[in-house]
Amino acid sequence: MSDERRVPLDKIWARVRGRLRQEFGESTYRSWLKPLILEKVVGQQAVITAPNLFMRDRIVSHYGDGISIAWAVESENLITNCLIIVQSSTKSVVDSPNENLQIPYEQISNTKTVTPKSKDENLLGGPLDSRFTFDNFVVGKPNELAYAAAQRVSGSDDVLFNPLFLYGAVGLGKTHLMHSIAWDIRRRDPSRKVLYLSAEKFMYQFIRALRFKDTMAFKDQFRSVDVLMIDDVQFIGGKDSTQEEFFHTFNALVDQNRQVIISADKSPTDLEGLEERLRSRLGWGLVADIHPTTYELRLGILQSKVEKLGVNVPPKVLEYLAHKITSNVRELEGAMNRISAHATLVGRDITLESTQDVLHDLLRSYERRVTIEEIQRQVASHYQLRIGDMHSARRSRSIARPRQIAMYLAKQLTQHSLPDIGRRFGGRDHTTVLHAVKKIDELCMIDKNFQEDVEFLRRMLES
């Protein structure tokens, strides 16, 4: 591989990884996809290495299609074949001077190829997740409009608004609602042809059709459905030929009074890289947005999830999670799954402590910065002192001890240096702070009640 090739390939790979991260979420991405290394691309085959056999198999079965599609979309080039191999033992094969890679990979035990299943109906539409039903969707203020609109569309034989445009940030339930509509329509009337696919898959199909000079069949397939759903349409921004095709498909269906349902991460007006006529066309029907979750909705989702999993989780833990994990529902679910998997594995009850332990890496990223002022306020109020006592020169034990606790917590929970902490406690010397830290450590060792007190304060500050 020459250097000129390596640069663009690296870029493509970086973008493919970016897509996979968006598609599968941060924690999945980190555990499974981030460790993948692109070795080379030969013809229509990408050679990718995975760290071990176990991961390789899982990646092939769960994310293989996703990788192929992301690749096609990013490079506008078709990879018909993603070869995922295990690093160490195949090194010699990968390093083989034979650039044509005519080696029969399938015969090597630790390689596996991912070939998109052509002619399979699933390739045209995306598979539907059986968990994504209306029954499993928890409704709250942030998503009630989108939910109501989705129900209306699936429950009505007439086309009430076209398209239904659902938008909201990642992980808030757009795909879940779309799948729910598809399940519901199929259940009510199995003869109606419902096609759900991601915008990426749409692009992939289109690129494939172009490559195999099969665009007529492509058009027919899409234009003969009763309900077309395209998920994450922001991904076609900037891809002119695909946009063009999408626009025509869209118009053809709307003209025939077929229902179109679109999702995106932004409203039609805010979508970038979209042609004006498409942008305005997308906003013609009903535009329903899903707002970021509220505490109540997060708690509701956790409760329903716990019921389904059949695990015993103390309400305190659910409240803690709903409070802490505010980004999106996907992360919330991921956290819950990790906790319950851990509890099953070690055979111990789920507690607040075990939760914090299991999720420490995730929680750390949510940790807000605690300020020294907050620490002083919290400690003062806990011991019923005035904030001024944190700065004062008074030395009676009832004041000095809480002040030491506050210094100790400031050292533990903030990035401030000892001299800096000293200054903020009434201009004390850094040795005073150091002494406080040691003293509190010592007391924690010998006095269980005292330690619990300090722990309680720490938790209050961290939550």
Cβ neighbour number for residue 295 with a 10 Å cutoff: 12
CA 204/CA 378 separation, integer angstroms: 56
Q: Which is nearer to ligand ADP, 126 or 285 (CB)?
A: 126
If one asks whether residue 138 binds ligand ADP (CB under 6 A), the answer comes out as yes
Dihedral sign, CA of 450, 452, 454, 457? negative
- CA nearest 434: which of 451, 420, 455, 448? 420
Among 201, 330, 411, 458, binds ligand ADP (CB under 6 A): 330
Residue range at the interface with ligand ADP (CB under 6 A); choices 137-145, 155-163, 182-190, 254-262: 137-145
CA 245/CA 249 separation, integer angstroms: 6
DSSP state of 29: I
Q: What's the closest the beta carbon of residue 312 comes to ligand ADP, in angstroms? A: 20
Q: Length of the chain, please? A: 463
If one asks whether residue 19 binds ligand ADP (CB under 6 A), the answer comes out as no
Q: Which two tokens stand for residue 449?
A: 């009640």
Angstrom CA distances, 463 to 70, 103, 322, 373, 460, stand at 38, 56, 11, 16, 5
Residue range at the interface with ligand ADP (CB under 6 A); choices 48-56, 63-71, 167-175, 213-221: 167-175
Among 17, 19, 56, 176, binds ligand ADP (CB under 6 A): 176
Among 49, 75, 143, 205, binds ligand ADP (CB under 6 A): 143
Q: What's the closest the beta carbon of residue 265 comes to Mg ion, in angstroms? A: 9
Q: What's the closest the beta carbon of residue 189 comes to ligand ADP, in angstroms? A: 24
Q: Which is nearer to ligand ADP, 26 or 333 (CB)?
A: 333
If one asks whether residue 333 binds ligand ADP (CB under 6 A), the answer comes out as yes
Q: What's the closest the beta carbon of residue 134 comes to ligand ADP, in angstroms? A: 10
DSSP state of 76: T
In the list ligand ADP, Mg ion, none, the entry touching 138 (Cβ below 5 to 8 angstroms by class) is ligand ADP
Q: What's the closest the beta carbon of residue 179 comes to ligand ADP, in angstroms? A: 8
* CB hemisphere CA count around 44 (13 angstroms): 14
Q: What's the closest the beta carbon of residue 173 comes to ligand ADP, in angstroms? A: 3
Residue range at the interface with ligand ADP (CB under 6 A); choices 44-52, 60-68, 74-82, 172-180: 172-180
If one asks whether residue 171 binds ligand ADP (CB under 6 A), the answer comes out as yes
Edge to edge, the sheet with strand 194-198 lists 194-198, 227-231, 259-264, 164-167, 286-289
If one asks whether residue 175 binds ligand ADP (CB under 6 A), the answer comes out as yes
Q: Which is nearer to ligand ADP, 68 or 143 (CB)?
A: 143
Q: Which two tokens stand for residue 235?
A: 């991904």
CA 31/CA 107 separation, integer angstroms: 28
Among 182, 301, 322, 461, binds ligand ADP (CB under 6 A): 301
In the list Mg ion, ligand ADP, none, the entry touching 176 (Cβ below 5 to 8 angstroms by class) is ligand ADP
Q: Is 86 helix (H, G, I), strand (E, B) or coil?
A: strand
- Per the listing, tokens 């009903």 go with 286
If one asks whether residue 137 binds ligand ADP (CB under 6 A), the answer comes out as yes
CA 45/CA 71 separation, integer angstroms: 11
Q: What's the closest the beta carbon of residue 296 comes to Mg ion, in angstroms? A: 23
Q: Which is nearer to ligand ADP, 51 or 300 (CB)?
A: 300
If one asks whether residue 174 binds ligand ADP (CB under 6 A), the answer comes out as yes
CA 110/CA 89 separation, integer angstroms: 8
Q: What's the closest the beta carbon of residue 290 comes to Mg ion, in angstroms? A: 11
Angstrom CA distances, 429 to 399, 417, 437, stand at 18, 12, 13
CA 352/CA 151 separation, integer angstroms: 38
Binding letters toward ligand ADP, positions 367-406, x by CB under 6 A: ----------------------------------------
Q: What's the closest the beta carbon of residue 295 comes to ligand ADP, in angstroms? A: 14
Query: What does residue 211 show for φ and ψ, rounded to 5 degrees?
Result: -60, -40
- CA nearest 91: which of 55, 33, 47, 34? 47
CA 230/CA 249 separation, integer angstroms: 11
Using CB positions, name the residue nearest to ligand ADP: 173
Q: Which is nearer to Mg ion, 28 or 215 (CB)?
A: 28
| Residue numbers at the binding site for Mg ion (CB under 5 A) | 174-175
Residue range at the interface with ligand ADP (CB under 6 A); choices 105-113, 268-276, 329-337, 397-405: 329-337
Among 329, 359, 399, 418, binds ligand ADP (CB under 6 A): 329
If one asks whether residue 327 binds ligand ADP (CB under 6 A), the answer comes out as no
Within the chain, what is the greatest distance between any pair of CA atoms?
A: 87
CA 421/CA 423 separation, integer angstroms: 5
Q: Which two tokens stand for residue 336?
A: 């819950």
Q: Which is nearer to ligand ADP, 176 or 424 (CB)?
A: 176
Q: Which two tokens stand for residue 408?
A: 């100790």
Residues that bind ligand ADP (CB under 6 A): 132, 136-138, 143, 168, 170-176, 301, 329-330, 333
